[in-house]
A and B are shown apart, each in its own frame.
Chain A
């Protein structure tokens, strides 16, 4: 049995309903995991002696507009002892009600989730550090979403200073 099949059968044994779908593209296996099971599946993948996915490489979110559910969150896992990669993908309907944080399983999880929230606006349950990271504190919206235009910011000169300042969310009336 190849490593891809091992992991599917192991998860199915422990969590019979967790895997929604398995897909393969260009030799990369993706497991679609039910959102509610994500954290326990991750814990299982890290702790199970026959799997040992001890390295969380990356978390990234994908806006699948106009599909439904709209958002998908990818977890790239890697097992250093077994030299095997796997991708977990979680479909998220409501970005405010995202998957549970994996920060308690891999320490880096919290930091990676902060980036996802800042740019895509998927909120991870239990992650208390979510804040603006790359963008200014008063930024509105989440730029990586498909309905967020790749727009321009009007340049503020002295002749139009007040006009532009009034549009800013933090505008002070003085």
Chain B
């Protein structure tokens, strides 16, 4: 007997079984000559622990099946055992490149279920931080996908600027990545005084940096050769495959949740939805680069008219009382105790709240049953949906192109597996 912990998780497959899994069922010519390649789960270009089963004819991809679940931690199930507030921390851990967006989606769903709306100041701060998160997430995407396409230096510059954003997050939330800063009814605490200066500084230097990244890539023949005309998907197919975010807009479909169903006051801000029509890796790259610039525009507008006022709603059944009140008000002590032991009760009913995360439409289905814990939480994870189109995008291309395409659909495995 051998100790092979987890060894059984990776199943050995034959080509026949792979074809059954993928479900093409077509007659393939020269099928005996084909080989089965297992890419990942520890492959650096799969951006996490994604395993791809690839059927190859020479170097051409005939069939491809994603094998996922290596990071499955049962987040949806776990959240059912926690109160609404405590379950929030699990959303940070799904899409670990954009915890702010996950927090926002979940919190907006909770607030919708409760029937409350955050204060204007809280909403504006939420917008600023989620847009900064979008830039940070796109920087990781740009760095890693350029790295996959043999442009090493971009990665280093991207991470330098991302570090600045994470420092701002640490300043407001005390955490760089697992922030949990948005709370039902508002924010954990107000932003510190230095916040505005720090964000203004970011807005000052960032446009030049984005231009730098583009300068590094736009004349790079290897990058262009591997990005242009690769992994093409038409607008019609992109819709049918449920692509969202930059992957959908790269095919020329104008759908952005921030414009279509504005939340958190996005309707007040003036910004464009970048569109490209080619639908290839290069188009998706262009869309995301432009998205970063649009995010800066939104941050600037939100910061310029950042309203004063409370950061939490005035409802003690949802929002805990300030620390100072606990010393002199019995009622505050009771509210504090109730909220941190039992939590607040949400009415019976179910809601669906969508937001535009850096990867696409992040949707939260939330059902309450009158108690203090969610009866069912389901996440429409954009990475999970976008991954489904990978076999279609990579058909009849080279293995090296699959690497470029994975980079361009911008997946995060933590969010896929949940």
Contacts and interface: CB of A to CB of B under 8 A. Distances in A.
Interface in B341-355: 349-352, 354
Contact of A28 (B76, B352, B385): B352
Interface stretch (B1-9, B31-39, B189-197, B322-330): B1-9
Interface residues of A, number: 46
A76 B11 contact: no
B152 interface: no
A112 B352 contact: no
Interface stretch (B198-206, B271-279, B376-384): B376-384
Interface string A104-144: 00111001100100010000000011011111111000011
Interface string B342-378: 0000000111101000000101010100000000101
A131 B21 contact: yes
Main SS at interface, chain B: mixed
A144 B349 contact: no
A156 B68 contact: no
Interface string B1-41: 10101001101000000000101000000000000000000
Contacts of A58: 352, 363, 365, 378, 380
Interface residues of B, number: 47
A105 to B, nearest CB: 9
Nearest to B418: A134
Contacts of A156: 5
B350 A62 contact: yes
A56 interface: yes
B311 interface: no
Contacts of A112: 242, 385
Interface in A127-170: 128-129, 131-138, 143-144, 148, 150, 156, 158, 161-162, 165, 170
Interface stretch (B98-106, B124-132, B156-164, B253-261): B253-261
Contacts of A49: none
A136 B388 contact: no
Contacts of B351: 25-26, 28
A54 B243 CA distance: 12
B48 interface: no
Interface string A24-36: 0110101000000
Given A55-B239, A108-B242, A135 B3 contact: no
Nearest to A65: B375
A148 B389 CA distance: 32
A92 B302 CA distance: 46
Contacts of A143: 74, 77
A108 B388 contact: yes
Contacts of B81: 150
B209 interface: no
30 contacts: A26-B113, A26-B351, A54-B240, A55-B239, A57-B242, A57-B354, A60-B380, A62-B367, A62-B376, A76-B363, A76-B365, A106-B240, A107-B240, A107-B241, A107-B388, A108-B385, A108-B388, A112-B385, A128-B23, A129-B23, A131-B21, A134-B417, A134-B418, A136-B8, A136-B69, A144-B76, A150-B80, A161-B1, A170-B8, A174-B1
Q: Give me the 3 closest cross-chain CB pairs, A-B, nearest first.
A: A108-B242, A134-B69, A111-B388
Given A132-B69, A143-B77, A165-B1, 20 more contacts: A26-B349, A28-B352, A30-B350, A56-B242, A57-B361, A63-B376, A80-B239, A83-B260, A107-B241, A108-B240, A108-B241, A108-B388, A111-B385, A112-B385, A133-B68, A133-B69, A138-B8, A144-B76, A158-B3, A170-B8
